[in-house]
Amino acid sequence: MNERIVKVAVVQAAPILFDKLSAFQQIASYARQAKAQGAKLLLFPEVFIAGYPRGLSFGARVGSRTMEGREDFARYWESAIDVPGSDTDLLGEIAKEAGVYLIVGVVERDQDYSHSTLYNSMIYIGPDGRLLGKHRKLMPTGSERLLWGQGDGSTLTVIETPFGRIGGLICWENYMPLARTAMYAKGIDILLTPTADARDTWQATLKHIACEGRCYVLSSNQFVTKAAYPADLNGYAELAQDPETLCRGGSAIVGPLGEYVTEPVYGKETILYADLDMSLVTKSRFDFDVVGHYNRPDVFQLHVNETKQNIVTFT
C-alpha cells in the first residue's frame, strides 16, 4: 500500500427494473459526483444492472411454472450483460472519465455454453477503463436459485490497488465462514459487500466481518420503491400488498476495528463518502490476524478450489 488515505464512495440507489439504460445513466451520474468529491473507489449495490426483482415470483411454484413468468424472465435476461462485452466497455469509459475503481453488481449472461443461464456477479473496472475481474455469487439465496446459477472458486477475485487489496462477496455469501476465510487469506484490505439485505442484523454482520478480518467493509444496498417497477410486468400485481418502499437501504462503511466510519443511511437514495486511513488496517492486526498469528494451521486447514469448472470438455 502506497496511498495511506483514500476517499471511497458507496451508492444507495436502484435503477428502473429490467432497464439497462436507467442503470447506466445512474452509474454515469454518480461517477461524476464521486469524481467531483475526489473519490478513488465507487461501489454500487447487488445486481444494480439491471435490478434486484424483489417481490416477484416469475410464476414459479413448487412443481409448476407459468408462461407469464417465463416472459418476465426473458425480459430479465434481455437486461443482463455479457462480461466482457460492449456494456463493460461502456462502464470502462465511465470509470476512466471519473478516474475511479468502479465496482458494480450486475446480472451476467453465460457466454460459455447455452448463453441462457444468468449469474449474480460483481465486476471490477480500473481507473484506466480496463476490466480487472469479476466475481460470481457462489450460492444464490432462497428463491434467487431459480434466477441465477452458482459461481465457482475461479472468481474469488482480489485486486491490487495503490491503496490496498480490494475484493468482495455478495450479500449472504458473507455469512459463509469459509468464503470469508478465503478472502482474508488473499490479504483483503477493503472488503466490498454489495447487498439487498436491509435488516438490522446485516449491520451486525458488517461489524463482525470488519472486526474478524481487520479490514474496511463497504456495504452498498439499494433504496427501492414501487416506482422502480414497470407497470406492464406480468408479475406486477404481486406487489399489491407490499409497502411503497420495498428496500430501505442501510448502506454503511465500517472500519477495521468494527466501528462505523459512515453510519447506515435509511429511507433515501444517496451516496456515502469516507476517507479511509489504510494504516489502520496494519495497526488493527497487531493483536488479531485471523490468517496469520491468530491461526492454528496444525488444527484447522482450508483448501480452496479455484479451478474453473467446465460442464463440457471438447477434445
Of the listed 137, 173, 207, 247, which one is catalytic? 137
Grid coordinates 477495521 are at which residue? 256
| Residue 180 one-letter amino acid | R
46 is catalytic: yes
Of the listed 40, 108, 171, 211, which one is catalytic? 171
User: Under a CB-based contact definition with an 8 Å cutoff, are residues 217 and 210 in contact?
Assistant: yes
Of the listed 46, 108, 215, 247, which one is catalytic? 46
The reported pLDDT for the residue numbered 313 is 87
The secondary structure of residue 81, as a DSSP letter, is: B
The reported pLDDT for the residue numbered 288 is 96
Q: Which residues of the chain have pLDDT under 50?
A: none
The secondary structure of residue 225, as a DSSP letter, is: E
The reported pLDDT for the residue numbered 90 is 98
Rounded Cα distance, 121 and 169, in Å: 10
- Among residues 46, 43, 47, the alpha carbon closest in space to that of 20 is found at 47
**DSSP E strands, 170-306:** 190-192, 216-219, 223-225, 245-254, 260-266, 270-277
Quick one: cell of 141? 439465496
- Check: pTM over 0.75? Answer yes or no: yes
171 is catalytic: yes
Q: Which CATH fold topology does 5-284 show?
A: Nitrilase/N-carbamoyl-D-aminoacid amidohydrolase (3.60.110)
Grid coordinates 407459468 are at which residue? 66
The reported pLDDT for the residue numbered 2 is 61
